[in-house]
Structure 1
Amino acid sequence: MSNDEKKAATVQNAEDDDDPDDWDKRIFSTGCSEENAKLTDCYYEKKDWRVCKKEMEIFRRCWKAHGNDKRTGMKDA
Structure 2
Amino acid sequence: MSSGDKSSAAAAQLLIDDEPDEWDKRIFSTGCAEENTKLTDCYYEKKDWRACKMEMEVFRQCWQRHGNDKRTGSRAAQ
Specify if TM > 0.5.
yes
Look up the match of 1:68. Answer: 68
**CA RMSD between the two structures:** 0.5
Q: Which runs of 5+ in 1 are unaligned?
A: none
Q: Which runs of 5+ in 2 are unaligned?
A: none
The percentage of counterpart residues that share the same residue type is: 68
Amino acid paired to 2:8: A
Q: Please list every run of at least 4 consecutive aligned residues from structure 1 whose deviation after the TM superposition is greater than 4 angstroms.
A: none
Residue correspondence of structure 1 range 50-69 to structure 2 within 5 A:
50-69=50-69
Look up the match of 1:41. Answer: 41
Amino acid paired to 2:39: L
TM-score by length of structure 2 reads: 0.96
Deviation of the 1:62 alpha carbon = 0.2
In the alignment, does 2:24 pair up with 1:24? yes
Deviation of the 1:69 alpha carbon = 0.2
